[in-house]
Amino acid sequence: MKMDLSGYGLSEEQYELAGLVRSFADDVVAPVSYEADRTKTLPMDVVAQMGEMGLFGLPFPEEVGGQGGDYVALGLAIEALARVDQSIAITLEAGVSLGAMPVFRFGTDVQRSELLPDLLAGRALAGFGLTEPEAGSDAGATRTTARLDGGEWVIDGAKQFITNSGTPITRFVTVTAVTGERADGRREVSTIIVPTGTPGFSVGPAYDKVGWHASDTHPLTFEGARVPEANLLGERGRGFAGFLHILDEGRVAIAALATGAAEGCLEAAVDYAQSRVVFGERLGTRQSIQFMLARMQQRVHVARLAWLHAARLRDAGRPFKVEAAIAKVTASDAAMDNARDATQIFGGNGFMNEYPVARHYRDSKILEVGEGTTEVQLLVIARALGVA
């Protein structure tokens, strides 16, 4: 079963892009997904092919090496990949939203010219160092510090759960750090680029995760790590505010990823219901299964509408914070609910990791946590209503 995207107001170019990436996902990504998950290995040859296709440069202008697309285009690509492999989809999502986008948004001309070409071509990846052992949803509680000494930032602290931070092509991580105190007594938080291999900067062993096994995720430690003063990214003291905007965009992309996961579960469940014979009849002839599949389709449709709306607002230069939060909650709920229902339809086979629905069942939980928990999204929505 394949979804029809013709009713979502896509341009001809966007429609063709979605079809191209879906074919790539089916023909290249899906055949290696189980083995990558089993061995907990990011398939770098797949990442390289994604780079050659221009996927990492989709929402960036051509003058900086991008494809001249937008966030709708990026979301369509992420959704297409997530249908078959969430680990590959999050590698693209984080590589763009969390790796390259901060440099594009806040970097100097020198930083952009030095870093963006390889990032947008998929020849390099970068991490986004925000979360800490004691600063997750409360990211403002950052304890990592950076002080100026002889024209260099000296960084001390730790980050955790950092995607794309330890791959063979990881070029740098951008970290938030307390760089001083404001006149009103509040802490000054800035962002600093720390290249891979910097003395005092160490990447810990990969996490043993419940899901997203093929995605690269590590803890980071900084012990007197020194980088040039020019590695400051954006305005000093504006690091946290800048990253909040980056997270809003990331939530749209995560919503697209979750929609793809929900769709992948639906596609697999429909195919299984049509082929599986139980008590002499196809499973899909049972009304209880039909209703379950109908609910799954409903969730995919609504989730796609939600992220497309948020992405189109973003691309039009209009406020989209609340719509991004709504999209993320809607789509992550859809992914979790569809993964549960698909696993139930598959029965015992749904508990076997060889089947994509089993991997979606494990993978989808993090969609309710990463880049802002469901509770944080609900708080954003409630604040917009004036009740929080």
| Contacting residues for 378 by C-beta, under 8 A, at least 6 apart | 325, 329
Dihedral angle at the C-alpha atoms of 332, 170, 232, 115, nearest 10 degrees?
-100
| Contacting residues for 329 by C-beta, under 8 A, at least 6 apart | 374, 377, 378, 381
What single-letter DSSP state applies at residue 132?
Answer: B
In 3D space, the residue among 331, 370, 356, 338 whose CA is nearest the CA of residue 85 turns out to be: 356
Residue pair 175/129 in contact by the 8 Å Cβ criterion: yes
CA distance 105 to 299: 33
- Cβ count within 10 A of residue 99: 28
Marked catalytic residue, from 79, 323, 371, 375: 371
In one-letter notation, the amino acid at residue 181 is E
Residue pair 36/85 in contact by the 8 Å Cβ criterion: yes
CA distance 340 to 335: 9
In one-letter notation, the amino acid at residue 233 is L
Helix axes 86-93 and 30-39, enclosed angle (nearest 10) = 90
CA distance 131 to 31: 33
Tokens of 24: 């790539």
CA distance 333 to 299: 8
181 is catalytic: no
Residues known to be catalytic: 371
